[in-house]
Chain A
């Protein structure tokens, strides 16, 4: 009985001490967790947000919830790492990683079509992004912050991709994507001129050329700092060749053929594009352009023209399209320009201090049709182009941080060293030391 009492007394004493100590540690940990500090030791500061992002976060005055749709795994981990950096820098940021396979209804509610997409919610708005990366998230936060809803005018009347057509050849998916990104979309009969509230005009694949009145209306609009997103299919010029030329853009003839970089099962005239430049450097997805023409930057033009997307160096622009129709497969000859060929360009003409006329052009309009918009990274490329044109000076470009290390391929001799020293020499030395110690001890 006495022993039991003693056990009870000391035992409960120890128990209380352990619980108290544990509680202190837990509280301490929670405090540190919410006021943690991170030191980034990498050479290239890979784990640090860009100063541009930090500025955006500093001026954030509403809460932003980020819902990223990813299944458990490596990519979810990567997205989580990026989002953690945002959370660390701002108390306004919260995030959730949602597995779209486990919670399909939530995924559906936010129109998630693909793994990796995310939706930012804040300021009574929603802003979808194609994938989680510093650039997409920061720009999406900026868009949530913007006060006014932007208006996009879509030119009709010349056989453009029809935004009211939900069939394969239509353009309704493009309109839906624009609406999802909080833009107001209106169709436009250009004869009446471009309305004053237009933030962007889209001309997607005119079959017939624009009338001269329409061309001058467009010209006037651009001259007042307008933005134009234009897709011109091969062998067509939409009647705006001269405008484009003024902005340093030349529509080349022919159609691009790429025997290697084509889509699996697709034909030669459907190049897969993996090269991105200018503001799109670091764009993550391949894009597919069914029947695309090349674009050239006019030499000696004082405009600021940058290439956005290019086909591979295996591609060429086939000029002899009638022969191609007759014989099917052709090979490049002396008349054909060889790749890499520009298929997307950005032209900027500064007008005074704060304004500029901007054109983004692609040599194909099928890539924004319902048939191809959701294929590979097409939608992201189109939407990035549009938000770049609309976002004017607010949106930021953040370059993907490269590793501080150099590329490295081992030579056979280095391979030998890496094999022998770690797997044979060092372990044997340890074993030898152990045996030596054993014998010394036995003798001693």
Chain B
């Protein structure tokens, strides 16, 4: 598994895709970050005037919204990071070669998955520079910062598992990226349908299925075992489905 991980990491860092994605992601979030702070600063001044500053702090007003926005942006960029993983091997015909490796499918899959997760984590950590910058200027609630990043990484792992699954279906990277985007979007917006039919069983099921709804507790500074389990199980399920899809190559001939 480790050799696959190393190979994939090398491929990521030597390809322009990583730098382009990181550049765009960091630039947009830098903008959001600046915007959030400017807004907070304005609100803080206003609230001080009305003597109601209690209850809202920088961590809740700047860091949590920033991470929420990051969660939205990764919807668009993670498919770009995962589209290559299997599609390229299929297009180049190296996938047959891969099946002959003295490695089990699951090890290859996990190698690819953890490589992409590491890359995403690295991109996230770049934005931690901004947050630390703020930490120098005022006191931050690092507990909230930690839970926010943990939640975002867990959500990203679910996105990646969908992306890898999409990549295992086709040899066209474009199709892989678009289907990954579509899949993530579906699991993103099921929560919206849930709000139309509240207090019903289907509504609750859809609410639980929504990738976004499980991020909320993390953004508030909580680690809820249920939400953590959701992201882990969700990722595990789609990695399992990917494994079965890959296996089908051996019997489809």
| Contact surface of A with B, Cβ cutoff 8 Å | 3, 6-7, 10-11, 14, 17-18, 21-22, 25, 28-29, 32-33, 36-44, 46-47, 72, 77, 81, 96-99, 274-275, 282, 400-410, 414-415, 417-419, 421-424, 426-427, 430-431, 433-435, 437-438, 441
> Is the CB–CB distance between B226 and A47 below 8 Å?
no
Partner of B226, one of A33, A77, A415: A33
> Is the CB–CB distance between B19 and A430 below 8 Å?
yes
> Is the CB–CB distance between A427 and B30 below 8 Å?
yes
| Residues of chain B lying within 8 A (CB to CB) of residue A46 | 220-221
Complex CA–CA separation, A98 to B139 (angstroms): 38
| Distance from B239 Cβ to chain A, minimum over Cβ atoms (Å) | 10
Which size bracket describes the interface of B in this complex? 35 or more
The stretch of B50-58, B85-93, B94-102, B109-117 in contact with A is B50-58
A25-B143 contact in complex given A14-B244, A41-B221, A437-B14, C-beta closer than 8 Å: no
| Contact surface of B with A, Cβ cutoff 8 Å | 13-14, 16, 18-20, 22-23, 26-27, 29-31, 33-34, 37-38, 40-41, 44-45, 48, 50-51, 53-60, 126-127, 129-130, 133-134, 137-141, 143-144, 146-147, 195, 198-199, 208, 216-217, 220-226, 229-230, 233, 236-237, 240-241, 244, 247-248, 251-253
Complex CA–CA separation, A98 to B237 (angstroms): 34
Partner of A422, one of B133, B195, B226: B133
> Is the CB–CB distance between B195 and A426 below 8 Å?
no
| Distance from B149 Cβ to chain A, minimum over Cβ atoms (Å) | 11
Complex CA–CA separation, A81 to B222 (angstroms): 11
> Is the CB–CB distance between B195 and A36 below 8 Å?
no
> Is the CB–CB distance between A427 and B23 below 8 Å?
yes
Partner of B251, one of A6, A81, A403, A430: A6
Complex CA–CA separation, A400 to B56 (angstroms): 11
A422-B222 contact in complex given A28-B233, A408-B41, A427-B23, C-beta closer than 8 Å: no
Partner of B222, one of A47, A403, A414: A47
Partner of A419, one of B34, B140, B223: B34
A41-B38 contact in complex given A25-B233, A422-B133, C-beta closer than 8 Å: no
| Residues of chain B lying within 8 A (CB to CB) of residue A430 | 19, 22-23, 26, 126
A403-B141 contact in complex given A97-B198, A423-B31, C-beta closer than 8 Å: yes
> Is the CB–CB distance between B139 and A406 below 8 Å?
yes
| Residues of chain B lying within 8 A (CB to CB) of residue A14 | 244, 247-248
| Residues of chain B lying within 8 A (CB to CB) of residue A427 | 23, 26-27, 30
> Is the CB–CB distance between B223 and A408 below 8 Å?
no
> Is the CB–CB distance between A25 and B236 below 8 Å?
yes
| Residues of chain B lying within 8 A (CB to CB) of residue A423 | 27, 30-31, 34
| Residues of chain A lying within 8 A (CB to CB) of residue B59 | 42, 403-405
> Is the CB–CB distance between A40 and B222 below 8 Å?
yes
| Residues of chain B lying within 8 A (CB to CB) of residue A96 | 199
Complex CA–CA separation, A421 to B133 (angstroms): 9
| Residues of chain A lying within 8 A (CB to CB) of residue B51 | 274-275
Partner of B229, one of A29, A43, A282, A417: A29
Decide if the interface of chain B is mainly helix, strand, loop or mixed.
Answer: helix
| Residues of chain B lying within 8 A (CB to CB) of residue A410 | 37-38, 41, 137
| Distance from A169 Cβ to chain B, minimum over Cβ atoms (Å) | 32
> Is the CB–CB distance between B38 and A37 below 8 Å?
no
> Is the CB–CB distance between A404 and B27 below 8 Å?
no
| Residues of chain B lying within 8 A (CB to CB) of residue A431 | 19, 23
20 A-B interface contacts by CB (under 8 A) = A10-B251, A14-B247, A25-B236, A25-B237, A32-B229, A41-B223, A42-B220, A43-B143, A97-B199, A400-B55, A403-B59, A404-B57, A405-B59, A410-B137, A422-B30, A422-B34, A426-B30, A433-B19, A434-B20, A437-B19
| Distance from A102 Cβ to chain B, minimum over Cβ atoms (Å) | 9
> Is the CB–CB distance between B57 and A434 below 8 Å?
no
> Is the CB–CB distance between B133 and A41 below 8 Å?
no
| Residues of chain B lying within 8 A (CB to CB) of residue A44 | 141
> Is the CB–CB distance between B251 and A40 below 8 Å?
no
Shortest Cβ distance from A15 into B: residue = B244
| Distance from A244 Cβ to chain B, minimum over Cβ atoms (Å) | 29
> Is the CB–CB distance between B244 and A38 below 8 Å?
no
Partner of B141, one of A38, A42, A400, A417: A42
Partner of A47, one of B13, B133, B198, B220: B220
> Is the CB–CB distance between A426 and B141 below 8 Å?
no
| Distance from B162 Cβ to chain A, minimum over Cβ atoms (Å) | 15
Shortest Cβ distance from A43 into B: residue = B141
Partner of A406, one of B138, B195, B236, B247: B138
> Is the CB–CB distance between A403 and B55 below 8 Å?
yes
